[in-house]
């Protein structure tokens, strides 16, 4: 059985990852428009890079939680594809093998000249760090207002789903929220969130729990 899992900020939050969830427009005290847009980067690249340098440091201090490990263990029984809105590497560290990052990855950077020139990066990123062609490197993060290049691949994965599990996401951020429209008719959907949004779908089971509890309640 092909199980597709769409994960969001709620999964990482239980590991202690500070996340942005729309409420006050601030992320770690920063206006998201200053640190998570191309305009913000062009205006003050030092601020943006330092913001993500701090996120990278924070990532080294957290570990996967029970939800990450339970989703990885599903691979013992099923073909599992994880589509995540999270930019951390906690799914990887928990042992999941098929992970598609919709919004980029904190531990990668890319050239401002070529979005396909992507490279691993674990330390600090600074102004003056250049690609081999001499262009500034930037965080490999999809910022607000930017295209989400992995969406076509995510759609292709969803089109082959037997079961869709949605965990820790408000389903309010597009285009990720639109993925529900691409699963086959009669696909079973499980939605795990302590404060679930209203989703109109016939084969829907809502588990009103945080990820670390709700994922363990899945009977697949």
Shared domain for 175 and 188, answered yes or no, is: yes
Shared domain for 165 and 133, answered yes or no, is: no
> What pLDDT is stored for residue 28 in this prediction?
60
Shared domain for 73 and 89, answered yes or no, is: yes
Residue 103 appears among annotated catalytic residues: yes
Give the H or E element holding residue 193.
none
Shared domain for 177 and 206, answered yes or no, is: yes
Q: What is the pLDDT of residues 105-125, one digit of tens each?
A: 999 999 999 999 999 999 999
What residues pair up with 139 in beta bridges, in sequence order? Answer: 109
Domain containing 70 equals 1-17+64-103+148-220
What residues pair up with 136 in beta bridges, in sequence order? Answer: 130
What residues pair up with 4 in beta bridges, in sequence order? Answer: 81, 164
d(C-alpha 171, C-alpha 201), whole Å? 13
Give me the half-sphere count of Cα atoms (radius 13 Å) on the Cβ side of residue 143.
Answer: 17
d(C-alpha 107, C-alpha 121), whole Å? 5
Shared domain for 136 and 191, answered yes or no, is: no
- φ, ψ of residue 11 to 5 degrees: the values are -70, -45
> What pLDDT is stored for residue 27 in this prediction?
60
> What pLDDT is stored for residue 115 in this prediction?
92
Shared domain for 155 and 98, answered yes or no, is: yes
- What is the number of structural domains in the chain? 2
Supply angle C-alpha 141, 116, 181, rounded to 5.
65
- From first to last of its 220 residues, the chain has per-residue pLDDT tens of 999 999 999 999 999 887 665 444 446 667 778 899 999 999 999 999 999 999 999 999 999 999 999 999 999 999 999 999 999 999 999 999 999 999 999 999 999 999 999 999 999 999 999 999 999 999 999 999 999 999 999 999 999 999 999 999 888 777 778 999 999 998 999 999 998 988 888 899 999 999 999 999 998 8
Which residue of the set 68, 91, 101, 103 is catalytic?
Answer: 103
Shared domain for 220 and 128, answered yes or no, is: no
């Amino acid at each position: 059985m092909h199980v597709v899992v769409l994960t969001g900020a709620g999964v990482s939050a239980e590991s202690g990852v500070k996340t942005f969830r729309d409420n006050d427009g601030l992320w770690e005290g920063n206006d998201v428009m200053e640190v998570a847009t191309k305009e913000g980067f062009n205006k003050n690249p030092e601020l943006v890079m330092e913001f993500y340098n701090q996120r990278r440091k924070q990532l080294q201090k957290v570990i996967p939680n029970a939800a990450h490990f339970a989703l990885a263990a599903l691979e013992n029984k099923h073909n599992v594809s994880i589509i995540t809105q999270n930019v951390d590497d906690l799914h990887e560290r928990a042992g999941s093998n098929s992970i598609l990052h919709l919004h980029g990855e904190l531990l990668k950077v890319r050239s401002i000249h070529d979005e396909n020139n992507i490279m691993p990066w674990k330390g600090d990123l600074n102004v003056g760090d250049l690609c081999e062609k001499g262009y500034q490197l930037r965080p490999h993060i999809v910022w607000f207002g930017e295209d989400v290049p992995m969406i076509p691949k995510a759609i292709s994965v969803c089109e082959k789903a037997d079961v869709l599990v949605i965990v820790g996401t408000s389903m309010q951020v597009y285009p990720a929220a639109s993925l529900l429209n691409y699963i086959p008719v009669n696909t079973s959907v499980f939605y795990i969130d302590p404060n679930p949004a209203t989703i109109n779908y016939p084969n829907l089971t809502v588990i009103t729990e945080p990820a670390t509890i709700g994922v363990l309640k899945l009977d697949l």
